[in-house]
């Protein structure tokens, strides 16, 4: 995902052609792709109704992956109820939806470039102490 920042400078910027701009595609295990998309399912997890804890976990997960955090947004449905949240990253996103009454959380981690979404997993385990975790991986934007 491309992010353009406006910089203030007294010098004229150098011309950059489209073929010089990075596209953040990366090679993973010999496959050129846009990035890795992990789906995590946490069961028997804890603190799933704590909106502040969920937001903090999203921030720490982004940091663990060396991702560029742009914004975190969370929504608490009811007191003691579920939380939905997203960490918007320059490299894509981390999202979570929780069902505290079932001890279940669904997470979606998609990252392009050099960020490694697997680095978020140990941090998320510490944050939510799940009894079990299921992970599935998809490579997105696989170049034929």
Determine the Cα–Cα distance for residues 54 and 130; give it in Å rounded to an integer: 14
Determine the Cα–Cα distance for residues 55 and 74; give it in Å rounded to an integer: 7
With the C-alpha atoms ordered 113, 120, 41, 107, is the resulting torsion angle positive or negative? negative
Q: 4 in a domain, yes or no?
A: no
Torsion angle of the four alpha carbons 54, 60, 65, 69, in this order, in degrees rounded to the nearest 10? 80
Per-residue model confidence (pLDDT) at position 4: 43
pTM given for the model: 0.83
Active-site residue, from 37, 65, 93, 112: 112
In the annotation, is 136 catalytic? no
Number of compact structural domains in the chain: 1
CATH of the domain at 22: 3.60.90.10
Residue 119 structural domain: 18-140
Per-residue pLDDT tens, the chain, 144 aa: give them. Answer: 444 444 443 444 444 455 655 678 988 888 999 999 999 999 999 999 999 999 999 999 999 999 999 999 999 999 889 999 999 999 999 999 999 999 999 999 999 988 999 999 999 999 999 999 999 999 999 998
In the annotation, is 115 catalytic? no
In the annotation, is 97 catalytic? yes
**DSSP secondary structure of 80-123:** TS-EEEEEEETTEEEEEEEEGGGTEEEEEEEEETT--GGGHHHH
Q: 50 in a domain, yes or no?
A: yes
Q: 129 in a domain, yes or no?
A: yes
Per-residue model confidence (pLDDT) at position 18: 55
Q: 53 in a domain, yes or no?
A: yes
Active-site residue, from 65, 92, 93, 115: 92
């Amino acid at each position: 995902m491309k992010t353009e920042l406006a910089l203030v400078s007294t010098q004229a910027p150098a011309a950059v052609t489209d073929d010089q701009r990075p596209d953040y595609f990366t090679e993973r295990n010999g496959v050129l792709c846009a990035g890795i998309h992990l789906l995590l399912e946490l069961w028997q997890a804890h603190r799933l109704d704590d909106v502040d804890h969920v937001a903090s976990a999203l921030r720490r997960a982004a940091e663990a992956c060396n991702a560029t955090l742009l914004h975190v947004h969370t929504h608490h449905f009811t007191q003691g109820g579920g939380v939905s949240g997203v960490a918007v990253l320059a490299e894509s996103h981390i999202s979570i939806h929780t069902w505290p009454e079932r001890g279940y959380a669904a997470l979606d981690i998609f990252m392009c470039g050099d960020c490694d979404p697997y680095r978020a997993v140990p941090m998320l385990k510490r944050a939510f102490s799940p009894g079990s975790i299921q992970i599935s991986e998809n490579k997105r934007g696989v170049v034929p």
